[in-house]
């Protein structure tokens, strides 16, 4: 543990030096760096695939599931995708150095609130090697230094990608320590990074709920919690039933493995007998299993009886929980108890009911008559994102470039004292 | 511990219910509540003083220092101050429900980014009983429920103030659980509050650096770090020496016990021989002890030789550290190593040097030719504040009403799916 701590401390010192250089780099130079990296990634595709093959071989040896192996695999197409993603980020608007507010006090002090990089961002992630390049691109564009700590399953791929990125940064005459990869993938290295106060300004975990819980539990560095999504669609008594069926089908089945997928539907009792068969019809096209409470099962013989653990469950597959509720407040109660403050939807033609639901439901994104699947940086128009924040501090919802900034006050005086 | 956990959980459940009521209360009603509380505080001044006397008697019995006894004491004037502070907060502009941004996506989805309360705020503080009323006022005005946990030294005073506040809230027909006080002042109750995920959205410690460190170390709930301030004034080679002396004297001596006071001055070598005697002259009017490095002591025989622990020390009294530096970068190096990212100042007539210093120095507030003492909610024009944030997430600098809000996205559709 001590050795790992010393390694992380050393990386922290380097990151602080790089952060200081980064803050004075202009946007043109950072763009040049991002293009240099994306070119280098494309040029070294064969090398990346060779290293990736080592991770895949280890994965097969360790009986990794085919879903995980798929996430781990880097094809030519995916490598091009990483490079293209980096160029897209390079072309986005600048987010640092913006004067957000400006005002003069009665004593003549002039205050500017200016957007600044967060500083050093630590990112702890799991088996997807493309996160290495995506995270570095977002951090560099927003003038942040980053320390990346990926999972051991992808260590050969991550090391190769990091090496290529650092060489490309160097070739532009910039300090390569603005992107560092922790090559030690022990639990100790993650713990040391979580407690690297004074070096790491903010930690962002990217991965499943187990990882996120471990980071929130152990970190002393401030954390932006991302990810876990148990999203609900509430079908109000004044809903358009066809629209409800279409939204639920989309929110559940268009990509069940992601955090903005719908995991539970709540149906108002007044409309349940008409709505449930229609929703079932839509979901059965994709063979979705419905786990219903007693009232759902009474209406829908095809539903399976839900158990306690079905409420609040993040299935991430073709299963959905379903419950009949007697009022909009019962729906909100259920969401308050079981939701993860990610994305929640009401389907209704009653505008007042929609307003009430959207005001009272506590979530990063609240929808009226649209699929929860839209909670996404690209869909919101923010470009690439580093995750979906489900906490209240700093930023909620998609974390794009702008959410990777902080601010400072610049105060201009003429000798004022108090 | 289990009993305390159950108590905190029960308070958390009540806070969740109150939070839901609060979100639908309009600004007029919240203002009415704040006025009712401030009237009740004034009307019950005798009762508050009586309960406060019990705390003071315990303090004297336990040999509390006179400085702490002074902080603990509630006089008629201070009680009026609490009530007036509450009315001032009541009169501030509304901060929740503001449409911060609004845009329509190509698919027709209309997005609104709207300011919302954080939800339930936990506040852990030490011996100053007025924090009970001040914190409750800021939370109520911003539609947040709060759970207050003060120190055992002030428990009689805090209990009395909380009781008066809750009765006044009740008399307006509002759920009194929007303000709750943890009456158990054991370490266990603080720990349970720090780990009350699911109930408490954000924790704000208000107190000395020991308290803040303990909260950052133990909390699993997101924390806004406040407080510790080791602020520097850097006197550049192009400084106006009289201005430098005036700023340093003010920043050090106008109120040495606060976090925006200056604890260390850094003097450029080119100007040190002229500047130091002039600064010494200004500081000696207030009997300030200067702890200097070798080069300071060589110029200023009155200086005491600084030890290692003087660098980065938050004296909070009439002592200041002093060091001669060879360049603006050396000054920034020193600040990077020993500062607390609170407030940092450069005194110079060279605008380019000032810009460089203000860009590179990582602090919530960076000053050109003005005293660090201005980092304050009132001085910035934000009104009352709940502390000065020294971290990068969420908010930096003075935490006023606006910084006690988060936001959500409201998305309006017509059945859009993805």
Each residue of B37-55: pLDDT tens digit? 999 999 999 999 999 999 9
Q: Write b or e for each residue in B8-42: b if 16 or more Cβ atoms lie within 10 A of its Cβ, otherwise e.
A: beebbebbbebbbebbebeeeebbbbbbbbbbbbb
The CATH number assigned to the domain with range A231-378 reads 3.40.309.10
* pLDDT (mean) for B61-85: 93
CB A415 to CB B370 under 8 A? Answer: yes
Residue range B231-376 in CATH 3.40.309.10: yes
Tokens representing A20 are 């200081």
Question: What is the chain A residue with the closest CA to B345?
Answer: A411
Partner residue facing B202 (CB), from A20, A23, A393: A393
* pLDDT (mean) for B15-44: 97
Largest CA distance in chain A: 79
Each residue of A35-57: pLDDT tens digit? 999 999 999 999 999 999 999 99
pLDDT value for B127: 78
- Bridge partners of B181, per DSSP, are B148
Q: How confident is the model at residue B226 (pLDDT cuts 50, 70, 90)?
A: confident
> What residues of chain B lie within 8 A of the CB of A111, using their CB?
380
Rounded-to-integer distance, Cα A346 and Cα B112, Å: 16
Each residue of B117-160: pLDDT tens digit? 999 999 999 878 999 999 999 999 999 999 999 999 999 999 99
Each residue of A101-143: pLDDT tens digit? 999 999 999 999 999 999 999 999 987 899 999 999 999 999 9
pLDDT value for A68: 87
HSE at residue B137, side-chain half, CA atoms within 13 A, is 29
Question: What is the chain B residue with the closest CA to A356?
Answer: B24
Q: How confident is the model at residue B2 (pLDDT cuts 50, 70, 90)?
A: confident
Residue closest to B143 by CA, chosen among B104, B96, B98, B190: B96
Question: B341: Cβ–Cβ under 8 A, 6 or more apart, which residues?
Answer: B362, B363, B364, B390, B391, B392
Please tell me whether residue B89 adopts helix, strand or coil conformation: helix
Place of tokens 């607390």: B340
Each residue of B165-203: pLDDT tens digit? 999 999 999 999 999 999 999 999 999 999 999 999 999
Residue closest to A252 by CA, chosen among A289, A218, A202: A289
Parts of chain B belonging to CATH 3.40.605.10:
2-226+395-412
Each residue of A338-397: pLDDT tens digit? 999 999 999 999 999 999 999 999 999 999 999 999 999 999 999 999 999 998 999 999
- Burial class (CB within 10 angstroms; exposed 0-12, middle 13-18, buried 19+) of B316: middle
Q: Write b or e for each residue in B187-218: b if 16 or more Cβ atoms lie within 10 A of its Cβ, otherwise e.
A: ebbbbbbbbbbebbbbbbbbbeeebbebbbee
> What residues of chain A lie within 8 A of the CB of B233, using their CB?
none
Cβ contact B179:B159 at 8 Å? no
Cβ contact A95:A386 at 8 Å? no
HSE at residue B125, side-chain half, CA atoms within 13 A, is 27
Residue closest to B384 by CA, chosen among B86, B104, B129: B86
Cβ contact A290:A280 at 8 Å? yes
Interface test with B, best of A374, A375, A395, A400 (most B CBs within 10 A): A374
pLDDT value for B382: 93
**In terms of DSSP H, where are the helices of A285-409?**
294-299, 328-338, 351-360, 377-380
Tokens representing B374 are 């201005």
Each residue of A67-87: pLDDT tens digit? 889 889 999 999 999 999 999
Please tell me whether residue B249 adopts helix, strand or coil conformation: helix
How much of chain A exceeds pLDDT 90, in percent? 92
Question: A352: Cβ–Cβ under 8 A, 6 or more apart, which residues?
Answer: none
Q: How confident is the model at residue A213 (pLDDT cuts 50, 70, 90)?
A: confident
The CATH number assigned to the domain with range A2-226+395-412 reads 3.40.605.10
User: A397-398 and A388-389 as β-strands: parallel, antiparallel, unpaired?
Assistant: antiparallel
* pLDDT (mean) for A211-215: 89
DSSP annotation of A395: -
How much of chain B exceeds pLDDT 90, in percent? 91
How much of chain A exceeds pLDDT 70, in percent? 100
* pLDDT (mean) for B311-329: 96
CB B412 to CB A254 under 8 A? Answer: no
Residue closest to B414 by CA, chosen among A266, A364, A349, A245: A349
Each residue of B246-293: pLDDT tens digit? 999 999 999 998 899 999 999 999 999 999 999 999 999 999 999 999
Cβ contact A235:A244 at 8 Å? yes
Cβ contact B203:B215 at 8 Å? yes
Each residue of A4-16: pLDDT tens digit? 999 999 999 999 9
Rounded-to-integer distance, Cα B114 and Cα B95, Å: 10
How much of chain B exceeds pLDDT 70, in percent? 100
Tokens representing A411 are 């105060």
Question: What is the chain A residue with the closest CA to B213?
Answer: A220
Rounded-to-integer distance, Cα B415 and Cα B409, Å: 17
Question: What is the chain B residue with the closest CA to A345?
Answer: B411
pLDDT value for A287: 96
Rounded-to-integer distance, Cα A56 and Cα A58, Å: 5
Compute the 3-state secondary structure of chain A and give helix, strand, coil in percent, each to the nearest 5. Answer: 50, 20, 30
Parts of chain A belonging to CATH 3.40.309.10:
231-378
Place of tokens 């280098």: A40
> What residues of chain B lie within 8 A of the CB of A220, using their CB?
216-217
């Amino acid at each position: 543990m001590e050795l790992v701590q010393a390694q992380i401390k050393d990386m922290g010192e380097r990151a602080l030096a790089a952060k200081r250089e980064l803050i004075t780099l202009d946007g043109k130079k950072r763009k040049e760096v991002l293009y240099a990296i994306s070119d280098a990634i494309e040029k070294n595709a064969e090398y990346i695939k060779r290293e990736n093959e080592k991770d895949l071989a280890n994965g097969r040896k360790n009986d990794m599931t085919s879903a995980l192996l798929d996430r781990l695999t880097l094809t030519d197409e995916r490598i091009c995708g990483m490079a293209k993603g980096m160029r897209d980020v390079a072309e986005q608007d600048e987010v640092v150095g913006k004067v957000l507010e400006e005002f003069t006090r009665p004593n003549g002090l002039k205050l500017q609130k200016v957007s600044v990089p967060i500083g050093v961002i630590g990112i702890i992630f799991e088996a997807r090697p493309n996160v290495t390049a995506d995270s570095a691109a977002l951090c560099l564009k927003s003038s942040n230094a980053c320390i990346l700590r990926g999972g051991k399953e992808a260590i050969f791929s991550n090391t190769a990608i990091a090496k290529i990125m650092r060489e490309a940064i160097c070739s532009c005459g910039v300090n390569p320590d603005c992107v560092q990869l922790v090559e030690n993938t022990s639990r100790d290295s993650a713990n040391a990074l979580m407690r690297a106060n004074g070096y790491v300004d903010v930690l962002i975990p990217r991965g499943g709920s187990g990882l996120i819980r471990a980071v929130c539990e152990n970190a002393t560095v401030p954390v932006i919690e991302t990810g876990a999504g148990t999203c609900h669609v509430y079908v109000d008594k004044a809903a358009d039933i066809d629209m409800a069926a279409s939204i639920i089908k989309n929110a559940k089945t268009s990509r069940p493995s992601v955090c903005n997928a719908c995991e539970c539907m709540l149906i108002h009792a007044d409309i349940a007998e008409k709505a449930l068969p229609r929703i079932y019809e839509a979901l059965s096209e994709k063979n979705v299993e419905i786990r219903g409470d007693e009232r759902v099962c009474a209406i829908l013989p095809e539903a399976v009886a839900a158990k306690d653990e079905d409420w609040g469950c993040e299935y991430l597959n073709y299963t959905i929980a379903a419950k009949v509720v007697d009022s909009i407040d019962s729906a909100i109660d259920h969401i308050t108890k079981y939701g993860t403050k990610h994305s929640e939807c009401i389907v209704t033609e009653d505008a007042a009911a929609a307003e009430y639901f959207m005001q009272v439901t506590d979530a990063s994104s609240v929808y009226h008559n649209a699929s929860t699947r839209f909670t996404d940086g690209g869909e919101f128009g923010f470009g690439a994102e580093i995750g979906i924040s489900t906490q209240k501090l700093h930023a909620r919802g998609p974390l794009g470039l702008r959410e990777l900034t902080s601010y400072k006050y610049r105060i201009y005086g003429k000798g004022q004292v108090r």
